A = this chain, B = another copy of it.
Amino acid sequence: MPESKEQTLPALWSEELLKSTLRGFRQEIDGALESILPPESQRPRKLHQAMRYSVFSGGKRLRSILVLGACELCGGKRAEALPTACAVELVHTYSLIHDDLPPLDDDDLRRGKPSSHKAFGEATAILTGDALLTLAFEIISRENPSELAGPLALELARAAGSEGMIAGQAMDMEPEGKENMDLLRYIHSHKTGSLIAVSVRMGAITARAPQKLLKKLSNYGQNLGLAFQITDDLLDVEGKAAKLGKPVRQDQEHGKLTYPSVLGLERSRTEAEKLIAKAVAELSSFGESSGFLQALARSILKRQY
């Protein structure tokens, strides 16, 4: 009955319901992050201050919300996935801090505030990223049951490492083959897609989802991740500086490869829509219970999440 689903789900998940659900998830995640991060009163104070500054800088918590949503969809309890959700958020934050550094993207602003190295200096920003990455693995291995700690740490490390997220960033800096569509897809699916995809996987793994469901959710995550990067590129070009809180068009200024620069605006938008449709299709066998993850995916196109 795919028709009835298509008719039912958007009604079940109105924009309002999605927004209020996301708000609730964010509160849970922020509360958990608050208790996980070392207090600023504790040595080394500047470092701990810098860690909190970037973690609580107004991120939308997409990745951690995906961990919670996938866990619930597979029959797990949200609370069980909360530490892992926090860990993903820490990895995401570390990657932004390091990417913003002058030798990399050299961004002075992040979410409308001075980026970490502008606020605390480059040395502290480097160490802050290192500390957040390390803390992510501390939380995963400390807060999960022993049979899950290893597999979850492995998932996260693979997705974040030199053949995952860092691979995308590293290839993005290399000058060769920028017009190559395969390379563009490689960069984006690694740089942004890996962490988004693994968020969904880790939520499912926490709920002990069987391989078949895990595979579907992995596909959902991969398509979502790539679509997310494309819409990010589109926003960048379309100059919604206020919404993003960072200078626009800087990807182009830096000679970075983006979907709009290779495919043009229209085809990029179509590509993002196709990817979201694919992502949503992967959820069909879950039925109505997947309404949240469907609505979340659709909201990516509008960047309302």
Contacts and interface: CB of A to CB of B under 8 A. Distances in A.
B161 A44 contact: no
Interface string A35-54: 00010001110111001000
Contacts of A94: 130
A121 interface: yes
Given A43-B171, A138-B154, A146-B147, A162 B131 contact: yes
Contacts of A275: none
A166 B123 contact: no
Nearest to A145: B150
Contacts of A158: 138
Nearest to A157: B138
> What is the interface of chain A mostly: helix, strand, loop, or mixed?
helix
A170 B104 CA distance: 22
Contacts of A150: 141, 144, 146, 149-150, 153
Interface string A107-147: 00000000000000111101101110111011011101011
A186 B126 CA distance: 21
Contacts of A44: 162, 166-167, 170-171, 174
A51 B162 contact: yes
B47 A170 contact: yes
B123 A103 contact: yes
A179 interface: no
A66 interface: no
Interface residues of A, number: 53
A104 to B, nearest CB: 5
Contacts of A103: 121-123, 126
A151 interface: yes
A283 to B, nearest CB: 29
Contacts of A151: 141, 146
A202 interface: no
A48 B153 contact: no
A163 interface: yes
B126 A38 contact: no
A101 interface: yes
Contacts of A84: none
A124 B167 CA distance: 11
A294 B126 CA distance: 37
A137 to B, nearest CB: 4
A169 interface: yes
Interface of A: 38, 42-44, 46-48, 51, 94, 98, 101, 103-104, 121-124, 126-127, 129-131, 133-135, 137-138, 140-142, 144, 146-147, 149-151, 153-154, 156-158, 160-163, 166-167, 169-171, 173-174, 186
